[in-house]
Structure formats: structure tokens, C-alpha cells
Amino acid sequence: MHVAGYGDLMKVAAEFTVPAVDTGIPNPPEYATYMYRHIKFLSSAAAWRGRDDVIVLYDPIVGGAGTGRVSPAPPLMYNITNMSHLHGANIATTYAPLDRLDQGTTQGAGYEQADYQAFARYNARLASVLRGARRETAVAVYYPVNMFQADYLPRKKHWSQIVPFHQGRQYAWDRVGETLEKADIDHQIVHPEAVRDAEIDGDLLKIGTGAYRYLVLPQVEFISRDVLEKIRLWESQGGKAIWVGSVARQGIRPEEDAEVARLAKPYLPAPVEDIAPRITNPYGEAYDLTFNAVPTEYNVATSP
């Protein structure tokens, strides 16, 4: 629906001084599967333009339990706070009310004042610590908007009826994010134009506030010749592109096809399960971290 609603949502969102996003508040059974990555998408758009702030609205109705749960229980609020800040938000707001509401079909239990104040302080502390913070990861995931644009056909249907036509590609896109997260590999989402305009510094592809050694390209069958040329030049300096599911064989325009096919000829697609093993140093350039597969000792700190 990025294409149906905006043509190219990342380009639109990147123009806002402070990008903002609503998020539902999942119940405990949904914690592990909820798509928190829509927040990362907005924070990635902000990073592309060098912006530091991203607003999130904790929405108790949209994506939640409707008007029957306008005051989600405190553990639910703490979960969405943690996950929102983890994915790049650093300003938060909500209309979950302190007091009980009873207005027609809108009902909620409200909160104890101490619980509400504790939640507000928790949010404020996280936001304060993260204000101006920038994500440090060496892994970028290419936003395959051209593929969704190629697939999209206008239909006289509600958006919920259109979504199933694109579930295959959407599922493939989601699998990439899930695979990286399960492997504890953080990443940033990058726009094709950001790749085209990136600065190359050794094995680093510098985009906005980020610098990347790895570029994961999920299901990219069409790609601009300019973008592919930049990727090949960066790889010649030590960068690593990982094509997932398919490899581009055609350009965005017919006159680019022959050159794109030539440039992409050496590539082979990898299954999504192979992404994590190919990323051996996912940490940002400010860090030089290594970990033993099995720790040999533990240090425990205690206080009186």
C-alpha cells in the first residue's frame, strides 16, 4: 500500500522535518510476531536525510482491540515503548486516557495514577537518552519499492481487498527483516536513490547518518543502472551485496536492460536463510566487537 497511497512512501516520509508514525499496541500473544518494523522504516527515512527525531503515537484503538481497549494494561504499554524506541523512535505520545471512559461504545479501565506516572517517566527517560542518538549498524536492507510499483495495478476495491494481491512479495520482504532480527543483526532500510547517491569510503557505503559494509537486496528483479553501477564500484572496494531470492536482470527502463544484465551476471541469489551467515561483522564503524561463540567465563557485578 506504499505505492497505492504515496507512490513511494520513503521519499515522502524523508521530506518531513520530524517523521511520525502511529503504531498499534499488541497483546501478549502478538508480541513476537507484531510488525514493529514500520517504525524502523520511518526512522530509516529520517536517517537518510540526517534527521535525528522520530515521533511515535501509541494508538490503543488502531491495530489493537478497537474501542473496547482504550487503556491497555501497563505491561502492554511498556512493551510497545521498548520496541518503538528499539526501532528508532525517540519522541512518544498517546491518547490512552488516565481515567475511565464510558461514552457509548468507548470503554476502558483507566489507570492508577501511580502506574500512569511511572509509564510517563519511563517514556521520558528513554526518549531523553535517545534524543539525538544515531543507529550504528553496518547492515543496510534495500527498499524494493520498484518491485511493488511494477506489481501494482489500480483497482476499484478497498485497500484491505487489494493487499492479498501482493502478499507473496510482502511476505518475502517481511522474512528478510525477521531473519535479521532473529539473528540479532540490526539494520537500516535504504532507498534506491540513497544507494545511487551514496559516498564510497573504502568498504563503507555512506548514506545519511549511516555507513554500511553489507547491502541486502530482497527480491530485486529490476534495478536502475546507476544504482547497480554504484553497488559494483562499492564492492570493488570491499563492500558486500547479498541478493535474496532473485537477482536483477532488467533495468528500470528498457534502454538499461542490456547493461544491467551484464553488470548483474556474476551474482547468484541466496535463500533468506543464508543472509545471517554471510554477515560476519554487522557492527557500525564506530565499534570493533568480537564475541566468542561459547563464553568461557562470566563476570557478575553486585552492589550492597
* Mean pLDDT to the nearest integer, 40-48: 95
- Residue-level pLDDT at 301: 73
Residue 285: pLDDT band by 50, 70, 90 thresholds?
confident
Position 71 confidence tier, pLDDT thresholds 50, 70, 90: confident
For the residues 172-177, what does the mean pLDDT come to?
Answer: 91
Q: What is the pLDDT of residue 201?
A: 95
Q: Assign residue 122 a region: left if phi > 0, alpha if psi is -120 to 50, beta otherwise?
A: alpha
pLDDT at 299 over 90: no
Q: Any idea where the domains of the chain sit in the sequence?
A: 2-130, 139-278
| pLDDT value of position 65 | 64
Residue 73, pLDDT above cutoff 80: yes
215 or 65, higher pLDDT: 215
Of the chain, the percentage scoring pLDDT greater than 70 comes to: 92
pLDDT band at 291 (very low <50, low <70, confident <90, very high): low
Three cell numbers, residue 41? 522504516
What phi and psi values does residue 63 have, to the nearest 5 degrees?
75, 5
Contact in structure between 243 and 215 (CB atoms under 8 Å): no
pLDDT tens per residue, range 184-227 = 999 999 999 999 999 999 999 999 999 999 999 999 999 999 99
125 CB contacts (<8 Å, ≥6 apart)?
none
Whole-angstrom distance, CA of residue 247 vs CA of residue 262: 12
